[in-house]
Structure 1
């Protein structure tokens, strides 16, 4: 299911009783987005200084989210009280030497700016490691907010699916009386054919044989168009889907299977159809089932 959560936190500086010691040292931000997917697909957009957090974030998210294409973004901005640290001498020498070599080969290459140098030496300037415990706490808040957003969407999807289930039940009810009507119509048609055969008989053909053949064809036709079993199974699948939606939880894969079975029964109704009205019912069912299939893939 789709969802979005964004949380921020500004930890206070440690130690001291002066106002400066309680000023925020950094601003931590975490965003989690999820879109529809049949499986869990995690991707991380983390700055280099936070790359070490990925295993912990992955474990935290996979424990609580089972489906969806999930993207995680994290950022950490220095607070007002944070001061830039000067790069060490060895790093500056290496950068200057590399720049000289590159410009020997590429005379038109742009010289490095102060900002470029600071960015390149950020990892060698003694920058403190991220507070993993604080980040995991922040991530837990973000995952909870994401699950709440997905739960709200899940409630909307459940309401829509229950509406489709009600429509499918109505279509099944329309199909039930059609079968005996069709059988009776076909029986009358075969009897008329038998009477025609009787009228054309010249005495060498036994009437019983023509009647037996007509009854055999009528019986075969009744068996061929009997969809009572398909309608029973379809109703059973609808009952199970409704039960799972009421139960909630990790039901996505089971719903996928049941939707496939619904589609199978609707196809069989269409293949056994002997009148246009039954064909229309089958088509309407398959349209509703396909709409349910698209939405069921979003449910966790």
Structure 2
């Protein structure tokens, strides 16, 4: 079981540059990949999607990739920088020829596009950039997976502890519900006995009255709900257990919690004892806590 929250970084050097990739993952109902790539890397977005989608199945994924030119005057890119020097000399000669008093500045070179030409010349070929981007992305995703696995272990412990508490509460609910049907039946018989003495109910047969009492008592019985709740808790343990593996289970966990909450609501509606109602309310509180945490399970 994995969390949907994660963070990772990767850096790969290529020629006179470095590709830096940052990956952040957040909660989400479905997989949503958002990428922010440097201009030289924008055409490689399909490669990003091909790598991310098989690794992450659910949640929002933000991928940022930057390209940093690391060449200096002493690197192989010095020839391109010498071209800037020649451009500066030419501009300086033009300044003297036409009597321009203002000194030559870096803004003049930038306006002439010299630096952009140097950066473009030093940018590695797309094929090499693709390999560097994929390598850095793989490293970042590995860190993300380690992060998500660690958070998933914490979530698993929380769910296992909550399941133990729910099992205890279901047992307490079963104990509190013992005899509830008989108690309800006795109350109904006493009440109906008083009503039968009144004139408007004098024509009712004992068989009809007994049938209605049995039906109402059966509706107050929660034995089936208790059994189903126990089955749901057992299934929940299987889904969050280590034997389930690293695959996505978040949607199935959320579904089981909905079913468990439905059983708890039915038990609360049928409850006629204060002790039983209190136990059901405690169980519902734990289920709601689990539903909040389930939003972070992949």
The interval holding the TM-score normalised by the smaller chain is 0.7 to 0.9
Q: CA deviation at 1:237?
A: 1.2
Q: CA deviation at 1:276?
A: 2.9
* CA distance in 2: counterparts of 1:64 and 1:201, whole angstroms: 74
* Alignment correspondent of 2:237: 242
Match of 1:227 among 222, 227, 235: 222
* CA distance in 2: counterparts of 1:113 and 1:276, whole angstroms: 84
Matches within 5 A, 1:174-253: 174-193=172-191, 196=194, 209=205, 212=207, 215-246=210-241, 247-248=244-245, 249-253=247-251
* CA distance in 1: counterparts of 2:114 and 2:267, whole angstroms: 71
Q: Which has the higher contact order (CA 8 A, sep 6+)?
A: 2
* CA distance in 2: counterparts of 1:69 and 1:197, whole angstroms: 64
* CA distance in 2: counterparts of 1:29 and 1:290, whole angstroms: 41
* Alignment correspondent of 1:147: 145
* 3-state SS of paired residue (1:259): helix
Matches within 5 A, 1:46-125: 46-81=37-72, 83=77, 85=80, 114-115=109-110, 117=113
Q: CA deviation at 1:113?
A: 5.9
- When the two chains are superposed, the root-mean-square deviation of aligned CA atoms in Å is 3.1
Consecutive aligned runs of 4 or more in structure 1 exceeding 3 Å deviation = 80-86, 112-128, 190-198, 211-218
Change (3 A) 1:195 1:40: closer
* Alignment correspondent of 1:6: 9
Q: CA deviation at 1:10?
A: 2.8
Change (3 A) 1:122 1:51: farther
* CA distance in 1: counterparts of 2:288 and 2:239, whole angstroms: 19
* 3-state SS of paired residue (2:263): helix
Structure 2: segments with no counterpart, 5+ residues = 88-106
* CA distance in 1: counterparts of 2:119 and 2:70, whole angstroms: 18
* CA distance in 1: counterparts of 2:115 and 2:278, whole angstroms: 67
Q: TM-score with structure 1 length normalisation?
A: 0.75
Change (3 A) 1:218 1:180: farther
In 2, are the aligned partners of 1:190 and 1:215 still within 8 Å (CA)? no
* Alignment correspondent of 1:281: 279
Structure 1: segments with no counterpart, 5+ residues = 14-24, 93-111
Change (3 A) 1:236 1:177: same
* CA distance in 2: counterparts of 1:119 and 1:218, whole angstroms: 92
Q: CA deviation at 1:212?
A: 4.8
Q: CA deviation at 1:32?
A: 0.5
In 2, are the aligned partners of 1:259 and 1:293 still within 8 Å (CA)? yes
In 1, are the aligned partners of 2:21 and 2:140 still within 8 Å (CA)? yes
The superposition leaves residues 51-92 of structure 1 with CA deviations (integer Å, 9 ceiling, x where unpaired) of 122111111010111012110111121114454847x9xxx9
* 3-state SS of paired residue (1:177): helix
Match of 1:129 among 98, 116, 125: 125
Change (3 A) 1:217 1:43: same
* 3-state SS of paired residue (1:250): coil
* CA distance in 2: counterparts of 1:295 and 1:119, whole angstroms: 51
Q: TM-score with structure 2 length normalisation?
A: 0.76
* Alignment correspondent of 1:293: 291
